[in-house]
Structure 1
Amino acid sequence: MPPAYPSKHHTVFVNSTSPQNDSALFSTIPSEIRSIIFTYALASYATVDPNKAYRPDAVYTRPEYTAPHIPDVALLSTCQAVYHESWWRLWENAQHTFWLTALDRSPLTELQTRKQRLLYGDKSAAPRRIQPAQHSDFQQRLRALFISRPEPSTTPSDESSTVDKSPPVELGHARIFPQLYMLEPGNALNQLYKLPHFHPRCITITLRHTDWWFWENDHHLFIRSGFVNKVRLPRSCKVFCMELESLERKKAQIDYVAAQMCDDWQFSRAEDNMPFRADSKDCETTTWEGSSMWHGQRWVRDEVDERPEKLSYYVKTVLSESEYKRPHAAEIHVPTALAQTTRAPNAVAAPGAMGVSTQGDFLNNNELVQALVPAGTPASEARQMVADWKERRRQRYVRETGFRLAHQGPPGGFIPIGDSQANAQSNSPANDHASVQANDGSNDDSDDGTDDETSD
């Protein structure tokens, strides 16, 4: 509902506002119903302009985030009465999105860039200390557009005391996409929550598949709890959600983390210390399918052959409500035994530990192009085609240089070695298949016509 007191919001209107007594919208329909109508009419939606749509393989493309969100403002142009009653809904109804991530993991539209500067100071800089709120465009808009303040009822000298006591206009929904290295310490989240005039009713934190620690190594899921014990939700918050996303095959791990959050974690609200807890029966699950490309790499490890170039995601939403207090929150680690049951279908090796190489778990896009791998090729076939292309390239290198090559890494990965190295390695049975002699009979001129690619 709009504030019941006059607003200081300035417009360019010259004529006075008509009461619209002849309009059924204002004379017959109750203001509560009119509020619902205006809220629906001014809701934001993903633009259908194909020139503004996000790439399907962009790291931030997902359900509800296929293009920048824009509102339809035609309603506000109908008359001043509608405008004065609903101008602020454009900001209240919008889903305000914040990206606590490296900047190449977020869309940098004009509005997003302003919010990034709030968090990072410079859109071209890596994540660092959050800049003071008073220097951000977003903070200025919060003050100018979100807050309807009463006119001073006494003298100008009393205005400052009157302004600070006026009730705020609350935002509907704030959504945060953090990487764990930005979320867990809690500092960035705290600074966001403490912005003056930032009063969201609902807050959602979404952890994407690539936001978890060591996802590249297929490490089991874990999350540290520092932010739970440190961060206080804004006083306006009434609903707090955490969306946990990973691959469909890691469903059991997501369920485990969600269950632990429901059992052990408790968030608190600022000022009144109202505790927020989750109940497992209130958790919701969704699934969706997206591209397996990530920054120019096709992650064949996680594909299933029936759905080439696609990854299936599993999302569980943990909804927190105010309830009794709980002890200090602890870290959550998926047990190793459970992690072993969710192994990738096309993994080269067992799920990796921290820092273990992921070589072979993905195929670089330039290799897919040079190996002439058609779009839609299943992961196992694509990996074999790239390996065959590398082998043809290796054999051609042997013919042209006389070097023999030592095998290193996954199939098709070779490096040249000198004669002294080769002789030292040739005595080892383990290297019988890792090197070949120049002028070997198997390397006759039997090219298949597809090995004329330029070498990397």
Structure 2
Amino acid sequence: MDESILTAPSINLRSNINLQQQSPLFSVLPAEIRSLIFTCALTDYEDITQDAFGRDTYWYRPGYQAKRRTATELLRTCKRVFQETWFLPFALAEHCFFLTQENRAPSKHVTVERMKEYLTTLREFARNQDGMDIPHIQSIRVFAQLWALEDSRRLQEVLDLEGFQPKNITITLRYTDFWYWEHDRPMHIDAKWVNTVRFPSSVSTISMDFEMIDRRKNEVDFITDLATQRWFFRRADGMAFRASKEDITTTRWTGSSTFNKSRWIRDESRPNEIDYYVKTVVWKPAPGFTPFASGGGDRCPNLDIPAGFAREQPPYMREFTHISVDDLETYNIPYDAPAQEVQEAMMRIARERQAAIVRRRRGSLGQHV
């Protein structure tokens, strides 16, 4: 745990309050133990009881199955508790940003403009109460479609927020964030943003989640190995960050195969389910390290799957790679029908439609003979 989070309040902040010495929380427990309790109580969490996300949304995933909230009831118990903990909800929360199309993010997600307003209010409160600036935060997460991430100004705007000094930054690329995922195109990530974005001097780790469907995990393995070797990040103070294969982690999870009211049978592992394969690469400060000192250019390269790469082909690449939920209902195709049955049913319906069109045309020609 970061020691700065456990910093005791100043004399000014502790004035005019009851020190609550009758409570063992303050008179018996050491400040370090008390701070651990407060940290546990004020760390944000997924509130699945009230704000659960739909499983068929683009943003549903482990750790984000519901809106995150902080239980702030503790801050209202007494002035002593408030003055020791008022900054923790801000410092401990994982602040999340969506650099995506509007329909790819929850309806009430935090925007850059809203965060600017929040930071201004928080900074004024901190200076009035304690004469100090707001504390560093632990982490931010950025969900980004590649078209938005490759416009480096979008991410830089988040990182340059005044008073926003994160220590850990995670950039998550979901399967549906990649270019032309709908067409099963090979993975490609442009490096322009890597070469131009500068991270705050407060940053100590930069992580990237590379998510793909399980069928294409060999592409993720190749891309993450390449990113580990060839990509370097930089802080505003000049510090370079490099990654190590030893820090790569692999996770898996299962989600819905329905996006935007279409069931993607091409990618299903089971009826209505897609298995995902995620690799996380971590970049850390490398004092004294100078990228490109050995020659070979002065910019990080794009990440591409090379020609001839052995890609596992999807089983359903003909006309019906995905089916609208409305069509499934209209044609009485069972919700839990396997992908092959759905494909065959839609092909049969398409043939019947085509045959009906031919019959109508023949009938129309017969009337004019």
TM-score (norm 2): 0.89
- Structure 1 residues 289, 253: closer, same or farther in 2, change over 3 A? same
Larger radius of gyration: 1
Q: What does 1:19-98 correspond to in 2, within 5 Å?
A: 19-49=19-49, 52-98=51-97
CA contact (8 A) 1:303 1:346 kept: no
CA contact (8 A) 1:57 1:293 kept: yes
CA contact (8 A) 1:147 1:197 kept: no
- Between the aligned partners of 1:142 and 1:344, the Cα distance in structure 2 is 47
User: Within the alignment, does 1:260 sit opposite 2:226 as a pair?
Assistant: yes
Query: Which residue of 1 is the match for residue 253 of structure 2?
Result: 288
Task: Give me the identity figure in percent.
Answer: 32
| Shift, 1:90, TM fit | 1.1
Query: Which residue of 2 is the match for residue 137 of structure 1?
Result: 114
Query: Which residue of 2 is the match for residue 426 of structure 1?
Result: none
- Between the aligned partners of 2:36 and 2:153, the Cα distance in structure 1 is 37
In the alignment, residue 314 of structure 2 is paired with which amino acid? Answer: A
Q: What does 1:436-451 correspond to in 2, within 5 Å?
A: none
User: Where does structure 2 lack aligned partners over 5 or more consecutive residues?
Assistant: 293-298
The correspondence for 2:277, drawn from 291, 305, 314, is: 314
- Between the aligned partners of 1:7 and 1:45, the Cα distance in structure 2 is 32
User: Within the alignment, does 1:334 sit opposite 2:302 as a pair?
Assistant: no
- Between the aligned partners of 2:123 and 2:312, the Cα distance in structure 1 is 46
User: Within the alignment, does 1:99 sit opposite 2:109 as a pair?
Assistant: no
- Between the aligned partners of 1:93 and 1:265, the Cα distance in structure 2 is 29
- Structure 1 residues 369, 82: closer, same or farther in 2, change over 3 A? same
The correspondence for 1:379, drawn from 335, 339, 343, is: 339
- Aligned to 1:195, the other structure's residue is in SS state coil
CA contact (8 A) 2:152 2:193 kept: yes
Query: Greater relative contact order (Cα 8 A, min sep 6): structure 1 or 2?
Result: 2
CA contact (8 A) 2:97 2:142 kept: yes
| Shift, 1:167, TM fit | 5.1
CA contact (8 A) 2:210 2:280 kept: yes
The correspondence for 1:200, drawn from 158, 166, 170, is: 166
- Between the aligned partners of 2:9 and 2:55, the Cα distance in structure 1 is 46
- Aligned to 2:308, the other structure's residue is in SS state helix
CA contact (8 A) 2:123 2:133 kept: no
CA contact (8 A) 1:5 1:150 kept: no
In the alignment, residue 309 of structure 1 is paired with which amino acid? Answer: N
Query: Which residue of 2 is the match for residue 389 of structure 1?
Result: 349
- Between the aligned partners of 2:208 and 2:354, the Cα distance in structure 1 is 49
| Shift, 1:74, TM fit | 2.2
Say what the alpha-carbon RMSD is for the aligned residues: 2.5
| Shift, 1:268, TM fit | 0.8
Query: Which residue of 2 is the match for residue 172 of structure 1?
Result: 138
| Shift, 1:236, TM fit | 1.2
| Shift, 1:21, TM fit | 1.5
Q: Which whole-Å deviations, capped at 9, do the CAs of 1:23-54 have from their partners, x for residues lacking one? A: 2211222222221111111121211335x321
| Shift, 1:190, TM fit | 1.0
| Shift, 1:397, TM fit | 4.6
User: Within the alignment, does 1:279 sit opposite 2:244 as a pair?
Assistant: yes
| Shift, 1:246, TM fit | 0.6
| Shift, 1:145, TM fit | 2.1
Q: Which whole-Å deviations, capped at 9, do the CAs of 1:48-67 have from their partners, x for residues lacking one? A: 335x3211111111111111
- Between the aligned partners of 1:313 and 1:37, the Cα distance in structure 2 is 35
User: Where does structure 1 lack aligned partners over 5 or more consecutive residues?
Assistant: 10-14, 119-135, 154-162, 349-358, 405-417, 420-436, 439-456
TM-score (norm 1): 0.72
- Between the aligned partners of 1:207 and 1:32, the Cα distance in structure 2 is 37
CA contact (8 A) 2:122 2:134 kept: no
CA contact (8 A) 2:251 2:279 kept: yes
| Shift, 1:150, TM fit | 5.3
- Aligned to 2:155, the other structure's residue is in SS state helix
